[in-house]
Structure 1
């Protein structure tokens, strides 16, 4: 391409991008008054001094630290800057998250404008600008974003997304130029991708996303001519991205397994993982349309099977959606392209490789739903380009986005503190075992054992085979002098994890307190043997 014909960012575009960032900042203002929450913030920040500063020791720690299975050195670097600026004041950390998210809104507006221009040739500049703004706001102001932005721990989401969007934008700029200018944009894209991978590994699918964009809307690649020299050149163009992504996948696999975060195939065999993946694929688009009863934790059901109604319906939905979009790919290629990009981006957290107690999480939607936001923008742009809808389409979009913003303003506030977070969670789902366990643990850590015990007992009742739930409930009861009540929980804890010396020791103590010294003796001996 002649460099002089490459699209340029106009002053109007810059102004609109800044306005979108300002709107995003305004909607997420409640996050600035929030504190730490006893949901990973405690482990990542309150009990962790490794990141506090920018000296050689801290930088070395950032490069090597793996916390709860995550290796994110660039994210930790930003938190080191937070500490230098703000110390342990959470408001400064929240400000960083909000600013990054606002920047993402502005960058996505620019990227959306370029992609919509290729997808809707012949559409005027103003309708395209309106559509791109609608796409950016549908992304930035959706309540699903609240978790990633208002939770300090999830800085890695918004930071990785910043580099993800910049990688795509600079790569797109490279496709619009030739010669030295193209090489500069291409190298910038590779560097930004590396920074993104070092912020959070979830962006590993981006090279495949770029290949999809080559097919549609850019039209650089014809899938029917994979063997042609032009197609091979486009694939070769992605090899450096793929190499970095492959290295990141390997590192992430090792760090996750070393921290015992990945669930085993014994717990969730391949069929169960397919069931979870199908559920995930329909869950997030549904929540985008109906963002109600959002939760910080959507627990994995006690039983996961493709034969259970929710998973059967999800699998059927995936098949029907995929088949339909494939059949209409010629008149409407955008639908299939968005669906493929969505599936690729969601894959690392879809359940195929499962870790943690969740079947889904709002934060997992931050990047995967970008394509659906582009579809919203395309619809608004197409409507704004029609003389009979030139006023209606933007108004309808504005009303919908304003409603989203109001919901987001409210959703952000559940992250104000630990009590607010779990009061909300248990109001939405009183049978969330993880929520009861987490809140009970938080209350226990602050010395309120009497307040913690009902939550720990409820968690143990909801998840009878979970070692930690039984152990924590029993230990809390033992500490308040209710040894007789503690015994059944501690017995179940020993049965669930017979190689835990702490479980045996606690059970021995409880049995001794109720006068069952003969029963306590073997557990005392077993605890000593395991502790050696």
Structure 2
């Protein structure tokens, strides 16, 4: 039996049960404060990439997609976004929980937000236990827990569902560390297995959890042994206690390798050279620390520019700011002559959990800095603040002062979180803030334009798309202008804008190709429309509307066999669309396939019992052998052009 790392400095006794903090009233107050702070998030809708991951993701409605989510990357799991799978995000558990949520709540955002808030409350409970386990001084762990629970930097994680990936990561990571500590208190085989399972939850939610063994190693190496005054264990000894988490990561990598066809698909090469990517890191880190210290003007997009030379003052400024902030944190968080290990671990944990987001070459320039990247690092940072509070305020000597200060800080942070969570209620509010904070970001203007387009505010949308083009985002900007022209019924202008987008970037989204095909159809160029839809289905073989429209055009050209092939594929991809079996029935009817036509019409009626056109044609077939002429392609449903966001 070996004592787990517990930092000295208090008379408290760590709990032997992971989720029991020992002071239930404090836990209750914190959880109620969190609910109050993030209450506006429950009134929010689906925003940002939730249009792709939730609203337009037809796979969420099929239970059979749950095992398949483990066989593909996240960007290949949203059947409507159809982004090329080069980002390397293997995150099956968010897709699984999203499928469950869809069947329970359909597309009612309230209950999705309730689930996400509940996950965050579980994380807060686990973090309180973790802080208490690491540093039992109530003035430290309570102060740290209050700041973590109410810090507005977490508004993005709480208010932005995005299939629950960030909250699943936080819950799995925190519980894995907590149960690791519990396993170290005794023989702990059961706790060790629970820790491994929690780590797998985190790994299958976000790749960020790959740094978990590093955090455990630092904790074991810095933490004390059996007695507070015992010397730190050797590196091999710390590595021994890290071995279970290393083996768990290896298991995850093996599963990922087999699931993705013998390839981890993790390596992503960015277009930015190594020199600016490395020189920009100090500025990004100092920005993160400043944002943790002073969480104001938070936004989904921040202005960041690459630093290309060592002589750039931004490089040295960021480096000096980072060094100064780090020194102050470590120095002030440690009392004179006191133990430096808690502060060193808090600082190391903050930096280690930020490591995955410092590989700047693989990140979009628009998304180099994100609030959600600070979710796990804020745990170590809040521990530092708890230590800082004990050292500077000395609440043990002046308890009344300590209590008043904690209440004031909690109220201030809670109020800021309340306001920040309101910003995430809809896309217009969210990206209006983004444009305000980062007016030079084409992403901010582009997504605000898409938000205005969804609301039918076409003039405002057009203005933002032109801003996006002026800032260098020609492909997405012209795609947006094409959507505006399409919505106005100016299909020729839509074709010209979409073609401009294609010329700017051939690797466009499926939505643009579909919209271009529809625009060609509207101006009477069926030949070019068919070519566009064929290009769509060749590049995005799981896009049901691409196959539907390609089939309808073939039907209008009397290519009934080709129409049946395309429509059968569309039906397999979207079995809920009653239009598809109806048009299949007409194609079979034109070929004289009476039984197949009757079956197809019956399938359409099963999906939509009041579908009169299907009833009429089925009754006509049952009444006699005459074959009705197939419809022209103008009978095809022309859906409204959706706002295809750039993310």
Give the TM-score range, shorter chain: 0.7 to 0.9
Out of 439-448 and 272-281, give the one that drifted further. Answer: 439-448
Does residue 89 of structure 1 match 2:108? yes
User: How far apart in 1 are the matches of 2:464 and 2:278?
Assistant: 32
Q: 1:103 deviation in Å?
A: 1.5
Equivalent pair of 2:445/2:468 in contact (CA under 8 Å): yes
Task: Kindly indicate whether residue 278 of structure 2 is the aligned counterpart of residue 268 of structure 1.
Answer: no
Deviation at 1:84, TM superposition (A): 2.9
Which of residues 41, 44, 65 is equivalent to 1:34? 44
* TM alignment of 1:333-412, pairs within 5 A: 333-356=341-364, 357-381=366-390, 387-412=396-421
Aligned with 2:297 (options 287, 293, 297) = 293
Q: Tell me, yes or no, if the aligned pair for 2:179 and 2:195 is still in contact at 8 Å.
A: yes
Structure 2 CA distance for aligned equivalents of residues 252 and 292 of structure 1 = 42
Alignment of 1:203 onto 2:222: no
Flag structure 2 segments of 5+ consecutive residues without an equivalent.
4-12, 76-86, 539-647
Q: What is the rounded CA distance, in whole Å, between the counterparts of 1:212 and 1:91 in structure 2?
A: 40
Determine the C-alpha separation between the residues in 1 that align with 2:174 and 2:441: 35
Q: Does 2:97 match 1:78?
A: yes
1:233 aligns with 2:231: no
Matched residue, 1:105: 124
Deviates more, 1:136-145 or 1:16-25: 16-25
1:428 corresponds, among 432, 437, 442, to 437
Q: Deviations over 1:109-135 (max 9, x none)?
A: 111011113xxxxxxxxxx22432221
Aligned to 1:120: none
Aligned residue among 7, 26, 30 for 1:16? 26
Aligned twin of 1:25: 35
TM-score normalised according to structure 1 size:
0.80
Q: Which residue of 2 aligns with 1:517?
A: none
Q: In the comparison of the two structures, how many residue pairs are matched?
A: 495
Shift of 1:336: 3.2
CA distance in structure 1 between the aligned counterparts of 2:21 and 2:480, rounded to whole angstroms: 59
Query: CA contact under 8 A between 1:167 and 1:193: conserved in structure 2?
Result: yes
Match for residue 160 of structure 2?
151
State how far apart, in whole Å, the 1-side matches of 2:151 and 2:33 are.
12
On the 8 A contact 1:299/1:358 being kept in 2, the answer is no
* Cα RMSD, aligned residues only: 4.1
1:80 CA drift (Å):
2.6
Query: Separation in 1 of the partners of 2:390 and 2:259?
Result: 40
Moved more, 476-485 or 42-51: 476-485
> What is the Cα deviation at residue 45 of structure 1?
0.7
The residue matched to 1:168 in structure 2 has which SS?
A: helix
Shift, 1:435, TM fit: 1.2
Distance 1:29 1:477, change over 3 A: same
How far apart in 2 are the matches of 1:333 and 1:444?
54
Residues 111-510 of structure 1 mapped to structure 2, 5 A cutoff = 111-117=130-136, 128-153=137-162, 155-178=164-187, 182-219=188-225, 225-227=234-236, 230-231=237-238, 233-244=240-251, 246-247=253-254, 264-265=269-270, 267-301=271-305, 307-318=311-322, 332-356=340-364, 357-381=366-390, 387-445=396-454, 447-463=456-472, 466-473=474-481, 476=484, 480=488, 493=501, 496-497=504-505
- Structure 2 CA distance for partners of 1:17 and 1:384, relative to 1, 3 Å: farther
- Provide, for residues 282-308 of structure 1, a one-character-per-residue CA deviation record: whole Å limited to 9, x for no partner: 222211111111101125437765554
Aligned partners of 1:75 and 1:159 also within 8 Å: yes
66-75 or 193-202: bigger deviation? 66-75
Aligned to 1:112, what secondary structure does the other structure show?
helix
Q: Report the CA distance shift for 1:397/1:307 in structure 2 as closer, same or farther (over 3 A).
A: farther
Q: Please tell me whether the aligned partners of residues 223 and 232 of structure 2 are also in contact (alpha carbons under 8 angstroms).
A: no
Q: Is the 8 A contact 1:130 1:384 kept in 2?
A: no
Deviation of 1:361 after TM superposition, in Å, equals: 0.4
Structure having the higher Rg = 2
Deviation at 1:385, TM superposition (A): 6.5
Larger RCO (CA within 8 A; separation ≥ 6): 1
Higher mean alpha-carbon deviation, 323-332 vs 140-149, is at 323-332
Change (3 A) 1:257 1:111: closer
Bigger proportion of residues as helix:
1
2:425 and 2:239 map into 1 onto residues whose CA distance is 51
Give the superposition deviation at 1:449.
3.3
